[in-house]
Structure 1
Amino acid sequence: MQASLKQPFTNVQLELLKTFSHQLPESDLIDLKNTLALFFAKRLINQADTVWEEKEWNDKLVDEMLHTKMRKSK
């Protein structure tokens, strides 16, 4: 039986390694980190907005959830 080799990097990591195969100045590295953080933050906000709309949540319901114990005790 032949074991399959698992790729050590994701497709995103490989692309970033190819793109940034040179040293960046610290200021550019900070800008890149901020850009990546904004990219993932926007994706997360869009996903949260989708759930909000699908579940027909509103401010009043969310306020009620914040003041409700939602975990079940074991």
Structure 2
Amino acid sequence: MHEVGPIEARWRTSSYSSGNGQCVEIAFLHGVVATRDSKNPDGPTLAFPVPVWAAFVASVTEGEMPCG
């Protein structure tokens, strides 16, 4: 498993985010997409291989996985 270092990560939120702190942030690192809760930036992160993340995003975009 790849340890996500706080200095190397460039975290970002979706442009659809309302800025109320209720967001998931992502960072692209070394072939993985790291995710974290924007309310707890020093908390745990989850990291997914890029192909797995891309499949997840495609599922949501195509309506196969409802959000919200």
User: What TM-score results when the alignment is normalised by the length of structure 2?
Assistant: 0.29
Q: Between the two structures, name the one with larger relative contact order (CA 8 Å, sep ≥ 6).
A: 2
Higher share of residues assigned helix: 1
The structure that has the greater radius of gyration is 1
